[in-house]
A and B are shown apart, each in its own frame.
Chain A
Amino acid sequence: MTKRPILAITSGHCPCHSVSHPNQLYKMTTAKPLFIIFLLSIILCAAIIAATGMGFLKITPLEVIEILWLKLLGQQSSSINPTFPFVVMEVRLPRILTSALVGGGLAVAGAVFQAILLNPLADPYTLGISSGAAFGASLAIILSIFGIMIPPWLSIPVFAFIGAMATLIGVFSLASTDNRLSSNTLILSGVIIAAILSAGIGFIKYLADEQVSIIIFWLMGSFVGRTWMDVSTTALVVIPGLVFTLYFARDLNIMALGERTANTLGVDSSRVKKTLLVCASLITAICVSVSGIIGFVGLIIPHLLRMILGPDNRILLPACFLGGATLLLGADTITRAWLPSEIPIGVLTSLIGGPFFCYIFRKKQLALTS
């Protein structure tokens, strides 16, 4: 074993570096990535409990845990302020869980879009899905302004979801020739359809006249007044979606070699591509329809975690879910509990996320050239 240090020195790395293969693709069993996933799970749970206690009524983390525990057992507490369980269970927790699920969903969808389109700068909205959802929501709002009576709490998310899925179908049929879906054609088709939809949204805003603010406010995203209904519909799509994408995680890694090479390695890239695009789009559509358009979560989280954990999707995808959930829940708690008046969450994430992304992007560019 005396040879090791010599080998390490001649290969120009520090000994620990060249022996332990820092981010080796298939070494998922090594402690580091699993430890990070575990750590992220702990942080997410802690964030959920801490955020539940924050707000106009201060509730300590211990009280939150006690309320949740007693609720689980179906008992009443004698020592806790009787309004607290209501605030926790009916007001704060639905909103917090919705924001966590949406954040996790957007980050996973972003990571999947980046892997499939072979473009690290893709995000869940690259294929124009957000524009489709926005168009659907605007349409629902203008219909209710014109007095067509569908309750808005139902019609807005449903219309947004239909708009997102219709956009996906439109982009697919515009992009597909033969049996292959080229990444560039997909992105371009997304841009074209998004441009048309934006014009449509502009027209609806014009029609809305003085009530345009309802549309604008929806477009900026919000978690105000989310219910357990929102939590369960989001969870029903996002959680199975995460499991489904994890099943294809190794194929996604291989597809980074390019479609043709991936095919010769036994991956049916065209099929994987289509199913995962539909899956990630479904996740995005449900997130947008529940919360409006929330930018940068789907771009920054995968990017940041890829820098720390490496590009292996089998670790990256679960890490993205946990990281995205923590981030968006944190951002929503800031607007809800800390700021004097609530800023729309989509505006906040873009205002913080944009410059932060510029920073990591620049740092990475400099690191590559040096």
Chain B
Amino acid sequence: MNSPEYLFSIRNLSFSYRSTRVLENINIELHRGKFYGLIGGNGSGKSTLLELLMATLQPDSGTLYYKGQALHLYSRQELASSLALVPQHFSMDFEYSVSDVVLMGRHPHIPRFSSPASHDFEAVDIAMATMDISHLKNRPVIALSGGELQRVVMARALAQETEVLILDEATSNLDIQHTISIMKVIRQRVLDKGLTVIAAIHDLNLAAAFCDNCLVLKEKNIYANAPVKDIFTPELLREVFSVDAQIEHSTKSGHPKIQFTYQ
């Protein structure tokens, strides 16, 4: 049941903030090497589920297994070398340079009281080049624009060189050009390096275009967990998001496109 063939397997998971139940009796399995989209309305518990996956929150009941072993049995250090988070909001009040911040992604790989080795700097350089921020490396992060900052945070997560990348609305502050280019880079990592991505996404078309599978959260539970072509149907969108939409299935890519009805 908790075989290591699944990357994550979640059993009877429930979670409450004080007396408010947010997630109720959730059961899912996630495979490695896939791009998962996590969708659902505001306050449906997407961020909470991501925090539970990262073990920064502990469930009230139920167990999360990562590679067949209960998540709470891993040390913080082990988890930090396996799971990386890109949060939605990021701000910094101190004048660290861009390369300093990206280098912070190497923290779990550098023992206390030692200096980073050459491969650490290499990982940083590659991550900065991937996110197209190499030219900013000596700039203080507090002087960057929102879009540049978000790419720095993304580069920091890539430099962490984990097998799982968790994105919490990571592109929602970016313009369309940077959103698409970042999603493409991540998609490419999934294909080339077998990275697993679990991304909470508000923009349903973005989810439909880049994800393999989508998890839909509704009323404290997983409403659906299926490949994108099965997820995006007019019925589901009406049921979960209370909107009317038409779905166009592109024959070439297999990814659906959603046309919302505005009037």
Give residues in A with beta carbon < 8 Å to B: 11-13, 17-18, 21-29, 115, 118-120, 178, 250, 253-254, 256-258, 260-261, 263-268, 306, 310-312, 368
Closest 7 pairs between A and B when the two form their complex, measured CB to CB = A266-B80, A25-B100, A311-B94, A264-B85, A266-B108, A26-B116, A266-B77
CA distance A132 to B174 in the complex (A): 46
- CB neighbours (8 Å) of A261 from chain B are 85, 87, 90
Interface size on B, residues (CB 8 A): 42
- CB neighbours (8 Å) of B221 from chain A are none
Q: List 17 A-B contacts (CB under 8 A).
A: A11-B135, A13-B138, A21-B138, A24-B97, A24-B99, A25-B104, A26-B120, A28-B115, A115-B94, A250-B107, A254-B104, A256-B94, A265-B105, A266-B108, A310-B95, A311-B95, A368-B142
Chain A CB within 8 A of B23 CB: no
**How many CB-defined contacts (below 8 Å) exist between A and B?**
99
Chain A CB within 8 A of B96 CB: yes
The answer to whether B83 touches A264, judged by C-beta atoms less than 8 angstroms apart, is yes
Q: Is the interface of A mostly helix, strand, loop or mixed?
A: loop
CA distance A25 to B105 in the complex (A): 12
- CB neighbours (8 Å) of B200 from chain A are none
User: Which of B77, B91, B96, B120 is the one whose CB lies under 8 Å from A311?
Assistant: B96
Chain A CB within 8 A of B101 CB: yes
The answer to whether B56 touches A250, judged by C-beta atoms less than 8 angstroms apart, is no
User: Which of B93, B97, B135, B138 is the one whose CB lies under 8 Å from A119?
Assistant: B93
Give residues in B with beta carbon < 8 Å to A: 18, 51, 54, 56, 76-77, 79-81, 83-85, 87, 90-97, 99-101, 103-105, 107-108, 110, 112, 115-116, 120, 134-135, 137-138, 142-143, 156, 160
- CB neighbours (8 Å) of B92 from chain A are 256-257
CA distance A253 to B96 in the complex (A): 9
- CB neighbours (8 Å) of A265 from chain B are 80, 104-105, 107-108, 160
CA distance A55 to B117 in the complex (A): 52
User: Which of B96, B110, B115 is the one whose CB lies under 8 Å from A27?
Assistant: B115
- CB neighbours (8 Å) of A27 from chain B are 115
CA distance A25 to B121 in the complex (A): 11
The answer to whether A256 touches B160, judged by C-beta atoms less than 8 angstroms apart, is no
- CB neighbours (8 Å) of B79 from chain A are 264, 266
User: Which of A178, A254, A312, A368 is the one whose CB lies under 8 Å from B107?
Assistant: A254
Contacts A253-B104, A264-B80; A23 near B110 (Cβ below 8 A): no
Most A Cβ at <10 Å: residue of B18, B76, B83, B143: B76
- CB neighbours (8 Å) of B83 from chain A are 264
- CB neighbours (8 Å) of B112 from chain A are 250
The answer to whether A26 touches B103, judged by C-beta atoms less than 8 angstroms apart, is yes
- CB neighbours (8 Å) of A11 from chain B are 134-135
For the complex formed, measure the closest distance between the CB of A265 and the CB atoms of chain B, giving whole angstroms. Answer: 5
The answer to whether B104 touches A257, judged by C-beta atoms less than 8 angstroms apart, is yes
Contacts A260-B87, A266-B77, A267-B107; A23 near B97 (Cβ below 8 A): yes
The answer to whether A29 touches B115, judged by C-beta atoms less than 8 angstroms apart, is yes
CA distance A261 to B79 in the complex (A): 13
- CB neighbours (8 Å) of A368 from chain B are 142-143
CA distance A328 to B112 in the complex (A): 33
For the complex formed, measure the closest distance between the CB of A42 and the CB atoms of chain B, giving whole angstroms. Answer: 25
- CB neighbours (8 Å) of B80 from chain A are 264-266
User: Which of A12, A24, A29, A260 is the one whose CB lies under 8 Å from B85?
Assistant: A260
Closest to B116 in A: A26
